[in-house]
Amino acid sequence: MALLDGTTQLNKPPVQVSDDARGYYTLGEPLVDPVTPTGPIKDRWTTRKFDNRLVNPANRRKMSVIIVGTGLAGGAAAATLGEAGYLVKSFCFQDSPRRAHSIAAQGGINAAKNYKEDGDSTHRLFYDTVKGGDYRSRESNVYRLAEVSANIIDQCVAQGVPFAREYGGLLDNRSFGGVQVSRTFYARGQTGQQLLIGAYQAMERQVAAGTVQQFTRHEMLEIILIDGKARGIIARDLVTGEIQTHLADAVVLASGGYGNVFYLSTNAMGSNVTAGWRAHRKGAYMANPCYTQIHPTCIPVSGEHQSKLTLMSESLRNDGRIWVPKKAEDCEKDPRDIPEGDRDYYLERIYPAFGNLVPRDIASRQAKNMCDEGRGVGPKVGDFRRGVYLDFADAIARLGEDGIREKYDNLFDMYARITGENPYETPMRIYPAVHYVMGGLWVDYHLQSNIPGLFVAGEANFSDHGANRLGASALMQGLADGYFVLPNTIRDYLADAPFERIDESHPDVVAARTDVESRISTFLSINGTRSADSFHKELGTIMWEYCGMERSEEGLRKAIDLIRELKASFWTDLKVLGTADTLNQSLEKAGRVADFIELGELMCIDALNRRESCGGHFRAESQTEDGEALRHDEEFAYVAAWEWGGDNGQPVLHKEDLIYTAIEMKQRSYK
């Protein structure tokens, strides 16, 4: 790896030749990050922190910030901005901030601490993350992420996060997701929970101190723009149904990812796109919406009733061997009766150098290929068996059942509980599932969207992971944004205060509120025949089939038509019972599904335009002779930032070229 300092441009700006999505979009002006830093890469963030304007502590009490979301990004930001003395209002739809979806993360969090003296450094974490993202992230953002990563661990330890420790009392860490250094800090299989509790407790401390006001069971349903600036939100109190106006000097969306557009995913049931999508409809750009991460090790679907999928930590791939029967006839057999010679350890066969530890997108796609060939295992759902074996027999022979129990006990228990099978006796079955989205609202280096005063943090923004996210890097990004980046960039915006005073009677505020009210009464008055859930399921099937692991021009066009039909029938055939003035979960769901349908269409258009295979996104039309993903940097090394084109118009594509100055782009090879 060449160590370059970031002062010379290494690639040419891309020129797109293909135009598959012609007719579905209009081309807008190129987009440039107006605050992108220059100069030696290692100094960029330090210089920027210094250059950003300061806000006098006495003035901070007069400045207000709304934060939507209490996950790692939103919780950490609320705690930090509250400590600094700003007036913060924090919103989440769960009954407590501590239940944000971040709580479910299992594996760990990366940080360039180099505690093992195995050659890790800020630069190496930066390099791995950019390469892992298939060169579709912004290098300045990623470098900053790597740079602050070490502080995250310090911060969390100080808060009492009980990370795993070695006998000497020092922090332990492990290697994760195919990375060759040990830089992943973890708290058994519950790293997300422990990190979130740390941020939550820090935030609750500020609630007690009066700097943070907490609104639980509240859902943001609209953003308020005045003179082009974000100045507040309209929220619904989910218990009383009251529609509320909240005004502030700036708004932060830390509302998480939209993987639930696929209906089945590893995300929590409530995860949704509404906060981002409402902002998108008011002018915020949605970047790279089609970039979805598919996780290879989830428990397969067992039937029609399935409401969500459960992830099994990727760490299992360190000891489990993945295989399917060589012969389709064997698929119904008890796996223990299939002799070694009749098993196809396909990852070890195709990728001898990396074997079972190939990156997530490759492991996922090959599992799908095996099942599509008719060699999947487990129960048939529809016409297919969608599962492959993850076998611990060798590892149990090597380490003993106790050895395995010590390492993976809670995961094995979880598997047994969900499937009713004992994984110590028979191989686990796994299948890929939607897990995370790399797309999200477009932000500049300051995490500000193209709407002044609207900041976006965590999974809700797009900037750091490129086309594929490496394991243990989402938690790092959420906390980096919340604890260290946003507090330093938002102050530069707030330094413009005082902002014009507005009150609830401002016509733009009234209009936003009226929109929300009329939307809710529409949902309740359509009085059709189908539940919001049934539309969601149908959307999910379309998305998974045509915009999931493998996409083709033909399939995507078909999907767009299907989604348009679905949208029409949603607005005429939806049935939501109950009223708007109490807790009404069907009504909540209807609003979220309506937004998912529109997002789904944009995801397909984005995927159609991007005629290259990149990260977790495999375009059938773009592969090498031996079927591997083929990227086209000369055409697509850009961020696709989409502008809302109106209800009857076409989305407008703004391209932000990705220029590398510190890392040279290379094609991936895991063979």
Residues near ligand FAD, by CB under 6 A: 68-74, 91-94, 100-102, 104-109, 191-192, 219-220, 254-257, 266-267, 271-272, 274-275, 311, 435-436, 458-460, 472-475, 478
Nearer to ligand FAD among residue 255 and residue 448 (C-beta): 255
CB of 311 to ligand FAD, least distance (A): 4
Q: Does 525 bind other proteins (CB under 8 A)?
A: no
CB of 622 to ligand FAD, least distance (A): 27
Question: Is the distance from CB of 469 to CB of 142 less than 8 angstroms?
Answer: no
Give the interface segment with other proteins, choosing from 119-127, 169-177, 439-447, 542-550 (CB under 8 A): 169-177
Q: Which does 475 bind (CB under 5 to 8 A by kind): ligand FAD, other proteins, none?
A: ligand FAD
Q: Does 76 bind other proteins (CB under 8 A)?
A: yes
Question: Is the distance from CB of 90 to CB of 74 less than 8 angstroms?
Answer: yes
Cis peptide before 325 (omega within 30 of 0): no
Token output for 285: 């750009």
CB of 609 to other proteins, least distance (A): 34
Nearer to other proteins among residue 106 and residue 288 (C-beta): 106
Question: Is the distance from CB of 659 to CB of 11 less than 8 angstroms?
Answer: yes
Q: Does 160 bind other proteins (CB under 8 A)?
A: yes
Measured over all CA atoms, what is the biggest interatomic distance in the chain, rounded to whole angstroms?
A: 76
Of how many residues is the chain composed?
671
CB of 414 to other proteins, least distance (A): 7
Q: Which does 483 bind (CB under 5 to 8 A by kind): other proteins, ligand FAD, none?
A: other proteins
Closest CA to 245 of 504, 63, 511: 504
CB of 240 to other proteins, least distance (A): 9
Q: Does 483 bind other proteins (CB under 8 A)?
A: yes
Q: Does 99 bind other proteins (CB under 8 A)?
A: yes
DSSP state of 482: I
Which residue in the block uniquely carries the two structure tokens 């499937």? Answer: 419
Q: Which amino acid is at 60?
A: R
Question: What are the E-state strand segments in 33-137?
Answer: 64-68, 87-91, 109-110
Q: Does 210 bind other proteins (CB under 8 A)?
A: no
Using CB under 8 A as the binding criterion, the count of chain residues that bind other proteins stands at 82
Token output for 140: 């300045």
The residue annotated as part of the active site, out of 360, 592, 611, 631, is 360
CB of 166 to ligand FAD, least distance (A): 20
C-alpha distances in angstroms, 67 versus 287, 499, 628? 21, 18, 42
Q: How far apart are the first and last CA of the chain?
A: 19
Compute the CA torsion angle 531, 533, 535, 540 (nearest 10 deg).
-170
DSSP state of 212: E
Q: Does 45 bind other proteins (CB under 8 A)?
A: no
Closest CA to 211 of 24, 77, 28, 111: 77
Q: Which does 108 bind (CB under 5 to 8 A by kind): other proteins, ligand FAD, none?
A: ligand FAD
Q: Which of 414, 443, 472, 480 binds other proteins (CB under 8 A)?
A: 414
Nearer to other proteins among residue 18 and residue 310 (C-beta): 310
Nearer to other proteins among residue 11 and residue 159 (C-beta): 159
Q: Is 385 a catalytic residue?
A: no
Q: How many CB atoms lie within 10 A of CB 489?
A: 22
Active site residues: 360
